[in-house]
Amino acid sequence: MDRINALRKRITSVDISKMKRAQERLDALTKPRGSLGKLEEIAKLIVGITGKENPVLEKKIIFTFAADHGVVKEGVSAFPQAVTGQMVYNFLSGGAGINVLARHAGARVVVADLGVASDLKPDKRLIIKKVNYGTKNMSEGQAMTRDEALRSIEAGIEIFEEEFSRGSGIPPEAGKHGVDIVGIGEMGIGNTTAASAITASFTNMPPAQLTGRGTGLSDKELENKIRVIEKALAVNKPDAKDPIDVLAKVGGFEIGGLVGVILAACARKVPVVIDGFISSSAALIAYCLEPKTKEYMIAAHASVENGHIFALNHIGLKPIFDLELRLGEGTGAALAMGIIDASLKIMTEMATFKSAQVSEEAQ
């Protein structure tokens, strides 16, 4: 916990003065003030996060973390647990949805095993930071120990830091690094159950309102999933005032890893694009650990999973778009990166009234 607390202390608020200057620049462009809506807000936020007046987001990374969940024994998923490991191989071969959309966005996908229930084949493209072989069945007791929860967060911190300094040959403090913006995604059969339980813990909303169909459950299966989450909350009584307790009792190793990525990225002044429901449950934990992380988060989209909007509302984030996505993996984050790039190009490439010799609006 000492390492996590030290990192939290390094997270400072975004640069408001630079955001004001960015707004002045946006107002001087050849358009009615505020006419590009969220694009202007995003560009201004990126300036505030990075502290750069002309930020360029060349080095994009999507962190896709995988882990299994013991709660699948309760029939909460339409897919068998083996799919988690199989999908990791699909990520590595470049055939998954996140691979396609990351290529489209010019982003690199970093795949890590935080807790897959089997030993995966060694691959130089796969980072192995396995905390355990999946969590325990949270409907019968804690999903993991508190130590495992902390280790999962620390694993995420380590993975981010390794990528931040990757290829530079010099310490990150020197200013050259390998990450300009990150997106967070995941893979783990059963993890919408964990995300629902985490969200219910922090928002105090009933599981019936937060729980969705995940991989495509029938009405009967959805009712069972809700009962399982209700039982897990009753058995474990996660303490919302202690985010690590919530993670340990009803979370997942991949979720903990994403918490670590968020904390580490914020400490390095790197924007974090939040994908769907599971990623937002990690964002909830990070926010409750350190509220200033909210200033660095950009919500990509509104998932069709019921609990997603409640998680975003609790943090105070508004999604950029709604395409009725529910895949996860970081796919929504990859799509949002293109919009974020567009916002910066508007700010840095569009002519001003003065440079274009266009008359401004009457005062």
Confidence at residue 361, expressed as pLDDT on a 0 to 100 scale: 72
Confidence at residue 173, expressed as pLDDT on a 0 to 100 scale: 52
Sheet holding 126-128, edge to edge: 126-128, 107-115, 60-67, 181-187, 272-274, 297-299
128: three-class secondary structure by DSSP? strand
Locus of tokens 């009933």: 206
Give a yes or no: residue 69 inside a domain.
yes
Confidence at residue 358, expressed as pLDDT on a 0 to 100 scale: 77
Provide the 10 A C-beta neighbour count for residue 264. Answer: 27
Return the beta strands (E) in the chain as ranges. Answer: 60-67, 107-115, 126-128, 181-187, 272-274, 297-299
Interhelix angle 277-289/253-267, rounded to 10 degrees, is 60
Give a yes or no: residue 68 inside a domain.
yes
Q: For the CA atoms of the chain, what is the radius of gyration?
A: 20
Q: Give the HSE-up count for residue 178: Cα atoms under 13 Å, Cβ half-sphere.
A: 18
Give the N- to C-terminal CA distance of the chain in Å, as an integer: 56
CA–CA–CA angle 200, 266, 29 (5° rounding)? 105
Give a yes or no: residue 314 inside a domain.
yes
In tens digits, the chain (363 residues) has pLDDT values of: 889 999 999 999 999 999 999 999 999 999 999 999 999 999 999 999 999 999 999 999 999 999 999 999 999 999 999 999 999 999 999 999 999 999 999 999 999 999 999 999 999 999 999 999 999 999 999 999 999 999 999 999 999 999 999 744 445 455 556 899 999 999 999 999 999 999 999 999 999 999 999 888 999 999 999 999 999 999 999 999 999 999 999 999 999 999 999 999 999 999 999 999 999 999 999 999 999 999 999 999 999 999 999 999 999 999 999 999 999 999 999 999 999 999 999 999 999 888 878 787 766
pTM, two decimals, is 0.95
Give a yes or no: residue 30 inside a domain.
no
308 sits in which H/E element: helix 306-315
Provide the 10 A C-beta neighbour count for residue 68. Answer: 29
Give a yes or no: residue 39 inside a domain.
no
Give a yes or no: residue 317 inside a domain.
yes
Confidence at residue 171, expressed as pLDDT on a 0 to 100 scale: 54
Instruction: Take residue 20 and report the two structure tokens written for it.
Output: 């004001």
Q: Specify whether the CB–CB gap between 159 and 130 falls below 8 A.
A: no
Q: Specify whether the CB–CB gap between 25 and 344 falls below 8 A.
A: no
The domain of 248 spans 2-14+57-344
Active site annotation includes 140: no
d(CA 99, CA 118): 23
Greatest alpha-carbon span in the chain: 70
Give a yes or no: residue 305 inside a domain.
yes
Which residue out of 148, 221, 329, 360 is catalytically annotated? 329
CA dihedral 81, 85, 87, 91 (to 10 degrees): 160
Confidence at residue 363, expressed as pLDDT on a 0 to 100 scale: 60
Confidence at residue 359, expressed as pLDDT on a 0 to 100 scale: 81
CATH number at 128 reads: 3.40.50.10210
Query: Domain tally for the chain?
Result: 1
Provide the 10 A C-beta neighbour count for residue 72. Answer: 23
Give a yes or no: residue 363 inside a domain.
no
Q: Specify whether the CB–CB gap between 270 and 298 falls below 8 A.
A: no
* Contacts of residue 145, Cβ cutoff 8 Å, sequence gap at least 6: 248
Confidence at residue 362, expressed as pLDDT on a 0 to 100 scale: 66
